[in-house]
């Protein structure tokens, strides 16, 4: 029986949800992941199964037809799903961030309009902040919304939209330049509606084909090109312009807990594969697990999985308690992503030459792990966030 990445203090309902997700992962995701990933095929049947489990509405309050669960419950489900196939966790991640932003910052009309349909998966969310020349410098956003008699007109190019093709609602950060003295107060989040698919998905909004990636396949990652796209003022998240940067950063903060959970899930699967293979593969007359070098490697891998899981759980619980968790989320994301890569590489080495073959699952994990290092901010960005906050907390009086 697995002993890693266990969580103490869960309610009976949380335990039942996680048990159902684990069964789904073992029976529906892991057996299908290799073939779908190699074909870069969208996991339609898996997504339908997640809808039936209620995953799309997991954190949406019951008054909006969701399950009303905590960030911790969601993160633990994501960890388990990523253990099966990291791309599937990506399908629900940006949907979750958009739902969270609506819950925290949306008007009541916006909540009523979108959240019940997001809970069922009828409306699928995508999160759009980055641009081709942007990187980590959010202040350099160029996509702009100009006020018109009917509302706003958006023009510009956005990049790295997870669920860019399959989504129907995109939370999009743009410049509005409506007289504020700070660049960060001149950004606004718009709730952009579109049809699923590629090409012109709404008047003035084009979603080109999928970006071909090293890993993180199956899920559709795209650009979004706005050319005089018309949107009403009712689609400003929260009803007021100039709040977009702060709304997005709130979403990214919970997103970092999510990426940490995904990293733990991938690392845990890599450990499972490594310790299994090490007991089957023999050299010099005995299983390689009995060689000290492999035994030590397995011990270090397991310790890293356990440590990353514990930090992720702490960050999620702190957010659920209503406390600021930027340091904890940054630490969890940084450590989990770095450890994920180290654990996957160690498992890859345990597999030897077979790890380089596409027939073995570890080859896929090796490509997927790299994404964790950049998703929701690189380790260097996390260090800046953590360091600046620590200087505030430990400032000399």
Report, as residue numbers or ranges, the catalytic residues. Answer: 376
Residue partners of 7: CB distance under 8 A and separation at least 6: 72, 76, 309, 313
C-alpha separations of 287 from 5, 204, 293, 295 in Å: 26, 61, 12, 11
At 31, list the tokens: 């057996």
Instruction: Decide if 116 contacts 123 (C-beta within 8 A).
Output: no
**DSSP assignment of 206-232, as one string?**
EE-SPPP-SS--SS-EEEEEEEEEEE-
377-380-383-385 Cα dihedral, nearest 10 degrees: -50
Tell me phi and psi for residue 81, to 5 degrees: -65, -40
Question: Residue 52: exposed, middle, or buried by beta-carbon count in 10 A (0-12, 13-18, 19+)?
Answer: exposed
Report the run of H or E that residue 147 belongs to, with start and end: strand 144-147
∠ CA 45-51-54, rounded to 5° = 145
């Amino acid at each position: 029986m697995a002993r890693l990445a266990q969580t103490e203090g869960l309610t009976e309902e949380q335990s039942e949800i996680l048990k159902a997700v684990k069964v789904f992962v073992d029976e529906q995701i892991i057996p299908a992941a290799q073939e779908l990933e190699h074909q870069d095929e969208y996991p339609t049947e898996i997504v339908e199964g997640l809808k039936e489990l209620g995953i799309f509405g997991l954190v949406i309050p019951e008054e909006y037809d969701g399950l009303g669960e905590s960030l911790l419950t969601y993160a633990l489900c994501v960890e388990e799903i990523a253990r099966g196939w990291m791309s599937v966790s990506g399908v629900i991640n940006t949907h979750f961030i958009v739902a969270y932003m609506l819950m925290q910052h949306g008007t009541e009309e916006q909540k009523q309009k979108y959240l019940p349909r997001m809970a069922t998966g009828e409306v699928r969310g995508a999160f759009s902040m980055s641009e081709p020349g942007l990187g980590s410098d959010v202040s350099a956003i160029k996509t702009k919304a100009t006020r018109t008699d009917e509302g706003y007109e958006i023009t510009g190019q956005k990049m790295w939209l997870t669920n860019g093709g399959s989504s129907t609602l995109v939370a999009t950060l743009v410049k509005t330049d409506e007289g504020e003295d700070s660049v960060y107060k001149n950004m606004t989040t718009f709730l952009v509606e579109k049809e699923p698919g590629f090409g012109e998905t709404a008047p003035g909004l084009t979603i080109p084909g999928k970006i071909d990636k090293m890993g993180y396949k199956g899920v559709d990652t795209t650009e979004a090109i706005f050319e005089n796209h018309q949107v009403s003022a009712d689609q400003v998240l929260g009803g007021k312009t100039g709040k977009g940067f702060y709304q997005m950063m709130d979403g990214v903060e919970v997103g970092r807990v999510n990426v940490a959970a995904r990293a733990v899930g991938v690392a845990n699967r890599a450990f499972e594969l490594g310790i299994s293979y090490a007991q089957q593969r023999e050299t010099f007359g005995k299983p390689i697990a009995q060689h000290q070098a492999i035994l030590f490697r397995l011990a270090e891998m397991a310790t890293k999985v356990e440590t990353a899981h514990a930090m992720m759980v702490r960050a999620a619980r702190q957010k659920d308690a209503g406390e600021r968790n930027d340091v904890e989320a940054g630490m969890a994301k940084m450590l989990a992503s770095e450890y994920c890569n180290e654990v996957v590489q160690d498992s890859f080495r345990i597999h030897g030459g077979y790890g380089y073959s596409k027939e073995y699952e570890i080859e896929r994990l090796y490509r997927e792990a790299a994404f964790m290092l950049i998703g929701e901010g690189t380790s260097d960005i996390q260090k800046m966030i953590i360091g600046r906050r620590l200087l505030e907390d430990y400032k000399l009086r």
